[in-house]
Chains A and B, each alone.
Chain A
Amino acid sequence: MADVLAPLAGKILAVLVEPGAKVEEDDELIVIEALKMENTVYAPSAGTVKEIKVKIGDSVEDDTLLLVLE
């Protein structure tokens, strides 16, 4: 299991995966709008998306749990 956390505070702009999706290391998972940029959050390792904890439009804080990989 791997928790994917928000690397910085911002607004969820896009969720690029669905629960059950298989991902490889460095696959794009979520885009957070912050600091005037659209910042991509990448998969830290290969796995399957178990659960997505955020949706488009959510405001998140630094270290908020975004999704769970297993």
Chain B
Amino acid sequence: MRPYFEKMPGFGKPMKENRIARTQDSRAKLEAIEAEIAAAKKAVEEVGIPTAKINERGGLTVWQRLEYLVDPGTWQPLHSLYNPADNEEGTTNVVDGLGKIGGRWAVIIGFDNKVLAGAWIAGQPDNILRVTNLAKRLHIPLVWLVNCSGVKLPDQEKFYADRRGSGAPFFRHAELEQAGIPVLAGIYGTNPAGGGYQAISPTILIAHKDANIAVGGVGIVSGMAPQGGFDVAGLEQLINVTRDMKSKPPGSVSTHYDSTGFFTRVCDEETGVLDGIKEYMAMIPAYDPKFFRVAEPAEPQLPVGELYNLLPINQKSDYSFDDILARLVDGSEHMEFRPGYGPEVYTGLVKIDGMLIGAIGNRQGLLPKGYPEYADYPGIGGKLYRQGLIKMNEFVTLCARDRVPVIWFQDTTGIDVGDIAEKAELLGIGQSLVYSIQNADIPMMLVVLRKGSAAAHYIMGGPTANRQNAFTLGTAATEIYVMHGETAAVASYSRRAIKDKDSGKPLEPLAKTMNEMAQKYYDTSRPAYCARYGFVDEIVDLKALRGYLKAFAGAVYQNPKSICPRHQMLLPRVIKG
């Protein structure tokens, strides 16, 4: 299949100087938003006890542990700004992302030991579930840096119980292990109760000499029997018991290495634990990337930096999606699937780091005259019509057959509406795409380049495709909502406007209400909001997007659950004709 993949047709056009000049304002706005996001991420990194103080105590922070553990230049952080419960700490208190350890991709997560000694706090279980889902979808190891003081007791009602509460990750660890996906844990500090299960549920446990893990820590062991209240005598007794237990906390190394043998290994140095993880990573099955590469890796022919001039911050401006994609994929080469059919959507095979990937994206701007063919009105890019929906169904199905992972790029205002569109079966064909995606059982990722809107956000590989979507990225231009705020205000208040008008009421108050609604939609669809509440898994600089695409490609081909020999693939033959 070398003739198919080694050198694919080039695509994408160079930018002209006048266009670059004309888009400098948009570029500056994108870069300003990226700077705001970067500052917010930095603030999250610095939350809690200062690094110097942790180091004075002889420990490393989670960030320093990651720095030591992860191969330089491979860390692709996720959920940096995720804080769905609006915790005062500004974080869910875990740090996670994709990174290589000794040349192999892993999903890596650690408790932030600068904040409440790595406590469970609200929103954290959902963060962990996203991470365990990611390891499952990519079929790569999950590596934990456990340093967890257990429940933040004053807030327990927010996350302890519930179907997706803090105990759910332990079941997910078991689920990963049953799927043959190892969970490695480096264990530091005091890990009582919930922290104990965080430490015991992984597959291999490598502990620091001062670590302990236990069903219950000093606090609850010494005060377990409620006495109906507190008095001074009771407190005196509590103080004596706690002092005694603090000198030898339950579940220390002497218990769980020497006695139970739960710990696989104990290390005197903090970095020794991380060296141990590296050793175990080297034992885990992983294909050499060459096994699956269809060509030598190559950088895009067209400059990645021009993405800032190509993607307009103005949501109404059109642009060439093909030109954007050409700046993200190897050699700016592709094999387009059914060009001309369903022109509002791009579908094609591309290479990322030499690996074969299916790409799907919304095209923008005017569509050819006469399209959509079922209507007497013109078609516009960003919207989905019958042919585009059928084409995506076909492409996803063929990618699944050939075991080719898919990267989606959304900038969509939705599916065509109205009775003509209903007669054209768009509701049914849209749901067919959901079925095709669910049936595919291949890893997918999504980049919401600009708009993620209406049902189109769901059916184009959105994060609601829980079992297929590994993760979703946003950009500085991303906005995600069910519809534009002004459209929503019209939908909500148009009848009231008629009533108010007919009854002689002044219209100013209603106009104010509608403006407030539109503003709320704007405020709750910004990139930082999308990241905070989990609409996306990370907001990424445009210049950093390719790094995530490479991480995705490398991870999905590291140890895939199933393989299609390239000479038995159908999709390239269908494209060639």
**Interface residues, chain A, CB within 8 Å of chain B?**
7-8, 16, 24, 26-28, 33-40, 62
Contacts and interface: CB of A to CB of B under 8 A. Distances in A.
Contacts of A35: 378, 380
Contacts of B18: 27
A40 B318 CA distance: 7
Interface in B442-487: 484
Contacts of B19: 28
B14 to A, nearest CB: 11
A39 B314 contact: no
Contacts of B316: 33, 36-38
Interface centre among A8, A16, A35, A40 (most CB of B within 10 A): A35
Contacts of A24: 16
Given A26-B13, A27-B16, A28-B19, A40 B365 contact: yes
Contacts of B365: 37, 39-40
A38 B365 CA distance: 8
B43 interface: no
Contacts of A8: 366, 378
Contacts of B364: 37
B378 A38 contact: no
Interface string B1-19: 0000000000001001011
B495 interface: no
11 contacts: A7-B369, A26-B13, A33-B316, A34-B380, A35-B378, A35-B380, A36-B484, A37-B381, A38-B318, A40-B318, A40-B366
Interface of B: 13, 16, 18-19, 22, 314, 316-318, 364-366, 369, 378, 380-382, 413, 484
Contacts of B378: 7-8, 34-35, 62
Nearest to B381: A37
A34 B366 CA distance: 10
Contacts of A26: 13
Contacts of A33: 316
Nearest to B317: A38
A24 B13 CA distance: 13
Contact of B318 (A16, A27, A39, A62): A39
Nearest to A28: B19
Contact of B366 (A7, A16, A28): A7
3 closest pairs, A vs B, by CB? Answer: A38-B316, A35-B380, A8-B378
A37 B16 contact: no
A33 B369 CA distance: 17
Nearest to A14: B22
B13 A39 contact: no
Nearest to A40: B318
A37 B366 CA distance: 9
Given A8-B378, A26-B13, A28-B19, A37 B318 contact: yes
Contacts of B484: 36
A67 to B, nearest CB: 16
A37 B314 contact: no
Contacts of B381: 37
Contacts of B318: 37-40
A54 B413 CA distance: 29
Interface centre among A8, A24, A33 (most CB of B within 10 A): A8
Nearest to B378: A8
A23 to B, nearest CB: 10
A22 B84 CA distance: 54
A16 B378 CA distance: 24
B370 to A, nearest CB: 11
Contact of A37 (B22, B369, B382): B382
Nearest to B383: A35
A33 B380 CA distance: 12
A62 B365 CA distance: 16
Nearest to B314: A38
A16 B316 CA distance: 17
A66 to B, nearest CB: 13
Nearest to B380: A35
Interface centre among A26, A38, A62 (most CB of B within 10 A): A38
Contacts of A38: 314, 316-318
B86 to A, nearest CB: 33
A11 B318 CA distance: 15
Contacts of A36: 316, 413, 484
A11 to B, nearest CB: 12
A40 to B, nearest CB: 6
A27 B15 CA distance: 10
A8 B380 CA distance: 10
Given A7-B366, A8-B366, A39 B16 contact: no
Contacts of A28: 19
Nearest to B364: A37
A17 to B, nearest CB: 10
A36 B414 CA distance: 13
Contact of A39 (B22, B369, B380, B413): B380
A52 B366 CA distance: 21
B320 to A, nearest CB: 9
Nearest to A9: B378
Contact of B380 (A16, A27, A37, A40): A37
Contacts of B16: 24, 27
A27 to B, nearest CB: 7
Given A34-B380, A37-B382, A38-B314, 19 more contacts: A7-B366, A7-B369, A7-B378, A8-B366, A8-B378, A16-B22, A24-B16, A27-B18, A35-B378, A36-B413, A36-B484, A37-B317, A37-B318, A37-B380, A37-B381, A38-B318, A39-B318, A39-B365, A40-B366
Contacts of A40: 318, 365-366
A61 to B, nearest CB: 12
